[in-house]
Amino acid sequence: MNEKDIMNKSKFIAELHDIGKLVDDSLKSKYGIIGHTFIDFNFTKFGIIQPSSPSWWGQYHEKTKKKNSYDWKTEDNINNWSKDLKNYIKELFLLIIADHLASSFSRSIPRISGASLDTTKLDNNEQNNILEKLNIELDTIRGIIKLWNKNFYQKEEKDGNYWAYFKTKDDLKNLFDEIDGCKSGDDFLKKYKKNLLLTPEDKAIPRNITSLYTHIMLVGKIFRVLIKNVPKPIKNTDSSISISYNRKDVKKTIDAEGDNFICYKDKTGKLKKGEIKGEWQARFIKCNIKVPHSFVRLPDINLLKKREELINNIVVNYKDNVLFHTSDFIILFLPLNVNLDEIFKEFSEYGFYIECTETIADLGILSSILDNKTLKAREEKEQNRVKVLEKRNTKVYKKILYPEVTEEIEIEPFICEVCQQKKSKNEPWIHENIHEWICDKCWKIRQMGEPFREYTEDWKDEKVCWFKFSINQDKLEKWLISSFSDYIDCVDNEIHKIKVKDVIKEEFHTLSPQIDFNYDYKEMLKEFWEEFKNEEDMKKPIKADERNNEKDYNELGVFKYSEELTKKVINKFCELFDKYFPDCSSNDESPICLSLSISNIKYPIRDHWKYFETENNNFLNIQHHNVFKDNYTKEEIELILNKIPSSPISKSSLYDVIETFERLNSDFELTIRLKEKHKDIFELYANYNIMPKKFLNIFRLVGGDREK
């Protein structure tokens, strides 16, 4: 058996299907490559050996019919596909479906004419016009355009990075060797990560907003979920073959998927209804992991470590079903027969509950926003849409996976004081003469020990500041939808007409940009902690166990309160936000926020946590126990912090002004008094409507010592 034969025994790797999207345009034109697949590439002419591994057949995933009538296309009945494919019909069939599904998760469909602008067909003037509108200084449109960081690709190019990986003839040979020799999808994603993150999944506007990395990762996952649930092709009595999933046999992709839209008005204003029902259905589930526990003592926050550990278990055991996850949110793609309770069983045992929104639909219409679209159609009684959805048996459930709870509990033993759900142990946890009744699981969590020594030893009697970064996935979805709509308006004008604009806006699917956004969020947190890694007075309470391949929980931190450190933390957050999310909202619409909660060290951690969970509404939220509670947009906090170094302030006089304003509620009075005594604060009030109280709160937090 020669090397090539050994390679041929390798697996069908779905991730390789779009490898051609990493080929530079100049190389493509030199070798006459059209599109991003190589089924028509003349291997003999260029003296390159054609790949022959199973993955090679993935190149046929977008095969169209040539003029010759004997040819075939992927939409045809599988029995009419080329005989060369006979060993890989199932794989190619499922790859096509996975590719459609991943694309529909990632961008605007339906695939209708006039819905996009092919950037390769735009001349330089046209391209410049669009780039100018987007405030990007490149000469042509290339690379990904992240909605929250439109200049991302431009900055990468300035740093010497470029989207294409394959730029020379030798590279082309390497590409074909990769198709034959690649060992796994993970290897492929790892090797080409940098380029895959710079390259959009589809270069046409407005689809160029999601990374090829995320698209390929999704295709790989969906493909493997499907292939696990699809047996070998079935031979029918008429000697034709069918592909069966969930006991539904089909011969064409359209039969499996159904129409890939619900209903929309086309460019002539005619209502199109996607009434063709698909035979194959699957589930898309958004899972929010809730912590009903009340953290009484510091070791109780080990529960967050347990949460990381349990999420890690799910990611390992259901690797392909987990499309993406954060520390408290998971998106699952599941076939109909998988038990959701089983997946989250361990979470329930530890008292977490999971709030799920589950959508069941034909593969042709299943997407990350189908839940909201279906609920909206029902609420607004959009009869056409509701009828199509009902006809296609679309369901949206809200499920709460809750630990088993007994009907009643006697007074003794008590209900666990931490999880509030289970009977406590018969003996109390005794500390400093206080008896606490907790259940065996919460006891175990507590026994995991103090997350860090300083809190109870060195920092005794000090003031501390707990802080937490959060990302709100609902807000993120909303922000992406509105930002995509702005993007469409920005690139659409008299020259570049995007037809059916409203349909594209309405049909925008957020999942892939959401994944890319979350990826950047994690990078931002990593960089934040890198900055403070030598800061003795700052701790990350939940550290990963590297032996279990876990990652640190980077959202939560605590430091011994000082004005300088507080200021440094806020400034660093603003700086990193500017770096990773310069085009994202930074007010109460911001999907990302930082919350600070300052108190004496004895103030219960539960209440810091409660604050983080409930009042994270603005870009920056601050609770200074028994002093103030306030929130700030990025603009507000930056303006205030900029004024503080130059503002020697009499706090008592400012108090007086604020008190008078609150008593009289008179803008006139406020204006006069500020103008007289506090010029800087007056400027903030007059020009930016920042109330003096907001200034005073921050002043006391970060610069209160410089009294006039």
Partner 1 sequence: MKFIKLNLEINSIIIGERIKGGVFRPCQTTIPSSTIEGALKHYLGLDIKAVGYFVEDTYKIQELTYSVKDKMLQTAKMPIFANYLAPKDKKILADIFIVKDNSFSIDLFNGLTFRMGALKSKGFGKCKVAEIKEEEYQIVQGLLKVKLFENEAESFNITAISPIYGFLFRPDKYSIGGKYKRALFPDSLVKAPKILLKEKEETYYDK
**Residues 364 and 376 sit within 8 Å (Cβ to Cβ):** no
At residue 304, φ and ψ (nearest 5 deg) are -70, -30
- Give CA 657 to chain center in angstroms: 45
- Give CA 387 to chain center in angstroms: 31
DSSP structure class, residue 117: B
Distance CA 56, CA 182 (A): 11
**Of 190 and 376, which CB lies nearer to partner 1 in the complex structure?**
376
**Of 6 and 400, which CB lies nearer to partner 1 in the complex structure?**
400
Taking the complex as a whole, the smallest distance from the CB of residue 443 to partner 1 amounts, in Å, to 13
Among the listed residues 397, 549, 645, 676, the single contact to partner 1 using CB under 8 A: 397
Taking the complex as a whole, the smallest distance from the CB of residue 15 to partner 1 amounts, in Å, to 35
**Of 243 and 298, which CB lies nearer to partner 1 in the complex structure?**
298
- Given the rule CB under 8 A, which of 138-146, 172-180, 252-260, 407-415 is the region that contacts partner 1? 407-415
**Of 417 and 636, which CB lies nearer to partner 1 in the complex structure?**
417
Taking the complex as a whole, the smallest distance from the CB of residue 464 to partner 1 amounts, in Å, to 16
**Residues 419 and 439 sit within 8 Å (Cβ to Cβ):** yes
What residues from 342 to 371 belong to the interface with partner 1 (CB under 8 A)?
353, 355
Taking the complex as a whole, the smallest distance from the CB of residue 476 to partner 1 amounts, in Å, to 21
Q: Is 693 in the site for partner 1 (CB under 8 A)?
A: no
Distance CA 455, CA 451 (A): 9
Q: Is 607 in the site for partner 1 (CB under 8 A)?
A: yes
Distance CA 102, CA 84 (A): 27
Taking the complex as a whole, the smallest distance from the CB of residue 484 to partner 1 amounts, in Å, to 25
Which helix or strand (DSSP H or E) is residue 257 part of? helix 253-257
Among the listed residues 268, 339, 406, 646, the single contact to partner 1 using CB under 8 A: 406
- Given the rule CB under 8 A, which of 198-206, 222-230, 390-398, 674-682 is the region that contacts partner 1? 390-398
Q: How many residues bind partner 1 (CB under 8 A)?
A: 37
Cα distances (Å, whole numbers) of residue 571 to 15, 113, 622: 40, 47, 14
Question: Which two three-digit tokens encode residue 574?
Answer: 């603003």
**Of 234 and 400, which CB lies nearer to partner 1 in the complex structure?**
400
Residue partners of 351: CB distance under 8 A and separation at least 6: 292, 293, 403, 416, 418, 419, 420, 421, 422, 439, 441, 442
In angstroms and rounded to an integer, the radius of gyration of the C-alpha atoms of the chain is 29
Q: Is 405 in the site for partner 1 (CB under 8 A)?
A: yes
Distance CA 116, CA 647 (A): 53
Question: Which two three-digit tokens encode residue 707?
Answer: 């009294």
Cα distances (Å, whole numbers) of residue 457 to 101, 301, 432, 453: 54, 17, 15, 6
Q: Is 415 in the site for partner 1 (CB under 8 A)?
A: yes
What residues from 73 to 92 belong to the interface with partner 1 (CB under 8 A)?
none
Among the listed residues 167, 395, 478, 700, the single contact to partner 1 using CB under 8 A: 395
What residues from 623 to 652 belong to the interface with partner 1 (CB under 8 A)?
626
Residues in contact with partner 1, shown as a per-residue x/- string from 488 to 517 under the rule CB under 8 A: ------------------------------
Q: Is 336 in the site for partner 1 (CB under 8 A)?
A: no
Q: Is 604 in the site for partner 1 (CB under 8 A)?
A: yes
Among the listed residues 5, 84, 238, 379, the single contact to partner 1 using CB under 8 A: 379
**Of 137 and 662, which CB lies nearer to partner 1 in the complex structure?**
662
What residues from 291 to 320 belong to the interface with partner 1 (CB under 8 A)?
294, 296-297
At residue 58, φ and ψ (nearest 5 deg) are -65, -20
Question: Which two three-digit tokens encode residue 527?
Answer: 């960089």
Cα distances (Å, whole numbers) of residue 652 to 587, 695, 700: 30, 14, 12
Among the listed residues 318, 402, 452, 532, the single contact to partner 1 using CB under 8 A: 402
**Residues 199 and 22 sit within 8 Å (Cβ to Cβ):** yes
Q: Is 410 in the site for partner 1 (CB under 8 A)?
A: yes
- Given the rule CB under 8 A, which of 24-32, 106-114, 373-381, 487-495 is the region that contacts partner 1? 373-381
Supply angle C-alpha 543, 547, 550, rounded to 5: 50
Q: Is 610 in the site for partner 1 (CB under 8 A)?
A: yes
**Of 446 and 509, which CB lies nearer to partner 1 in the complex structure?**
446
At residue 396, φ and ψ (nearest 5 deg) are -130, 115
**Of 400 and 664, which CB lies nearer to partner 1 in the complex structure?**
400
**Of 151 and 420, which CB lies nearer to partner 1 in the complex structure?**
420
Distance CA 91, CA 55 (A): 9
- Give CA 103 to chain center in angstroms: 15
Instruction: Write the DSSP assignment of 580-619 as a string of letters.
Output: H-TTS--STT-SEEEEEEEEETTS-HHHHHHHHHH---SS
Contact positions vs partner 1 (CB under 8 A): 294, 296-297, 353, 355, 374-375, 378-379, 395-400, 402, 405-411, 415, 417-418, 420-421, 433-434, 436, 603-604, 606-607, 610, 626
